[in-house]
Structure 1
Amino acid sequence: MHLSSRLLFAATSTIACIASAAALNITIEQNVPFAPAKLPAPYAASQCDEIVELFGRLGRTTVWNLVEKVHVEGDTFEPEGIVRIGDDRYFVSAGEYTTPTVKYGNNTIINGTDRTAGSGFAHIIVFDGKGKRIADATLTERGAIEYHNGGIDYDGEFIWATIAQYRPNATATLMRIDPRTLEPTVILHVADHEGGVVHDMRTNKFVMLNWGSRNATTWNSHHKPAPYPSFTTFPDKTRNPSYYVDYQDCKFLGHPKAFNYRGTMICSGVASLSPTVAIGGVALVDMDTMIPVAEVPITMTSDLGVPVTQNPMDVTIVDGRLRFYFMPDQHNSTLYVYEAEPNSPFEYGGGVH
């Protein structure tokens, strides 16, 4: 192993009889632990009922206060998901695109998709609370066609990710990542683009969201996956009935009392209504039906003019206030931390009066 101001190493990992396609190459910027020695519980799932209660007070008149703005070091490529592990670590999933996809043109569809595969690298990048870069792990080989590391979830032990081709109706790989070592482990292969995953820790069910979050695919870890690279088949696929926004990053929230203890996730996303109009939003979503049980618009934009809900999102409660973490911009990214003002005007309802 070669030591310099940066520490580089490569490794592969396997689990049981599943062959791993993941290649781990880590650039270390700070000689500090990647994650706390004792991994904390995920913020969203450990504050489930409180988050649901505070979310129920949100509306179009909610005042959002920017409590912190942290510029993060280095190229973040296209950040897709974020999890906050402890008070001083942010793990960001990202896709680096070395060969761009190209539309076939004339509405041509080949093998179910509308563009070439392109190529690139899937990343997981670790920052401290001040935005200083700790490590950058590439999880795929050079030239891989699955390189889009989408929205991620953290369950108190592992980070869960889907690394997909960057085109609809393609393929993806469900992985778990050890936050202490950044080692990826392949779990199963999917015959669709999957842009994010949520782990229900109570039922051990995984919900994966495809291109535009139009469909949700469910897999239970009690069921044996097909040996990689064969595709695992799924008995459950649920159509997303909401077209308000396309979910970009989701977190398992829990089984809240307010929703009859049904599995629920919190998701953020955007929708492009025209070349010049984009809207953002955050929703609480029933994991079985994909029906949003509560949703609110988010109108804030980054300093570069991007809706803050464009990609990564995490959530917690601090001093009784609902706090969101957003990182919307590509390459040159800033972490925007917003809190909902508890004394916002009461939401009477919509319409023009």
Structure 2
Amino acid sequence: MDNQKLIAQFRKLTRSTKWELTDKIDLQFNNYHAQGIVRIGKHFYLSSVELIEVPVKYDEPSHGHDRTPGMGVGHLFVFDDQGELVHDTPLGEGNIYHPGGIDYDGNHIWVPVAEYRPNSQSIVYKVDPRTMKAEESFRVHDHIGGLVREGYNGKLIGNSWGSRKFYEWNPNGQLQLVKENSSHFIDYQDGHYVGEGKMIVSGISELSNPAGCNSQPYELGGLALIDMKTLDMIHEVPITEFSPQGHVITRNPVYLESAGQKLRLYAVPDDNDGSLLVYEASICE
């Protein structure tokens, strides 16, 4: 991938950018509630949570938590460009079953798996995409909902529940920095290292729907370019394209790449019987 070109194209995105749906690949398996995605060659790697028991909020906080842990199974799916399932690797243990946004550093896919509640705990796995063997790298005393691996020095940037807080770890998993997220535009769900010490993250913000109190929240989508040294936002844009199930397309798994004079976006925003949606935006030189 031409990272310099990708970054330059991303900086030209505006709220007026037109995104065109160019392909819709129906997944031939239950993708449950998908979280993060990367593309390696002709294969896509998709993290997802199979929810068996929904967490229930307590009337009063209990032992530092605001809800029950629920029950579920974490997955890292591999599928091809026809939507056929190639492999399924289970991830997590006990109450730790919720994978987040993922990244690929050229050798391993990095996957955080957390309890499905804030202020909890997580396991960071690295997965060899050739063997799909998952190896625990380190543990974190918080819910880590997304992870980006910098290719230059190997540091990792993770974000907490709702991405209100950033964490930085060295390659050995030792905590180096904790910083509040200065942007309140969206909650980051997925993210990837794009070179030059920068990452592109995606996500949503659920806003009150003016249609009435019984209406579903309005999902505002967005993309952001972030400096991984300062963890400050460099450029961000809203996304307002919606999926067949009515979700904004940056709801969880998103992967961006440069495609000639266009920026290509892959997304799996819908649950259970979802599709890989492919969008392109023309970028003027």
TM-score (norm 1): 0.76
Question: Residue 238 of structure 1 contacts residue 289 of structure 1 at CA under 8 Å; is this kept in 2?
Answer: no
Question: Residue 270 of structure 1 contacts residue 281 of structure 1 at CA under 8 Å; is this kept in 2?
Answer: yes
The reply on whether 1:337 has 2:278 as its aligned counterpart is yes
CA offsets per residue over residues 21-50 of structure 1, 9 Å max, x none? xxxxxxxxxxxxxxxxxxxxxxxxx42210
1:127 corresponds to? 79
Equivalent-residue separation in structure 2 for 1:103 and 1:289 (angstroms) = 35
Task: Write out aligned runs for 1:82-231 (5 A).
Answer: 82-86=37-41, 88-105=42-59, 108-141=60-93, 144-221=94-171, 223=172, 225=173
Amino acid of the residue matched to residue 129 of structure 1? D
CA offsets per residue over residues 61-83 of structure 1, 9 Å max, x none? 11111111111111111100000
Choose the corresponding residue for 1:267, options 187, 191, 201: 201
From the CA coordinates, give the structure whose radius of gyration is larger: 1
Q: Number of aligned residue pairs: give it.
A: 278
Amino acid of the residue matched to residue 254 of structure 1? G
- What is the aligned-residue RMSD (CA, Å)? 1.5
Amino acid of the residue matched to residue 253 of structure 1? V
CA offsets per residue over residues 194-236 of structure 1, 9 Å max, x none? 0111101101100111101111111101x4x5xxxxxx6x241
SS class of match (1:253): strand
Task: Write out aligned runs for 1:71-82 (5 A).
Answer: 71-82=26-37
Give 1 or 2: higher strand fraction: 2
> How far did 1:343 drift?
5.4
Amino acid of the residue matched to residue 341 of structure 1? S
Amino acid of the residue matched to residue 64 of structure 2? G
Equivalent-residue separation in structure 1 for 2:243 and 2:180 (angstroms) = 31
Equivalent-residue separation in structure 2 for 1:63 and 1:180 (angstroms) = 36
Task: Write out aligned runs for 1:48-87 (5 A).
Answer: 48-86=3-41
Amino acid of the residue matched to residue 47 of structure 1? D
Q: Any gaps of 5 or more consecutive residues in structure 1?
A: 1-45, 226-231, 256-262, 345-353
TM-score (norm 2): 0.94
> How far did 1:277 drift?
1.6
SS class of match (1:109): strand
Equivalent-residue separation in structure 2 for 1:286 and 1:115 (angstroms) = 34
CA offsets per residue over residues 152-199 of structure 1, 9 Å max, x none? 000111100100000000000111011111111001110000011110
Gap change, CA 1:155 and 1:192, over 3 Å in 2: same
Question: Residue 217 of structure 1 contacts residue 237 of structure 1 at CA under 8 Å; is this kept in 2?
Answer: yes
Instruction: State the identity as a percent.
Output: 38
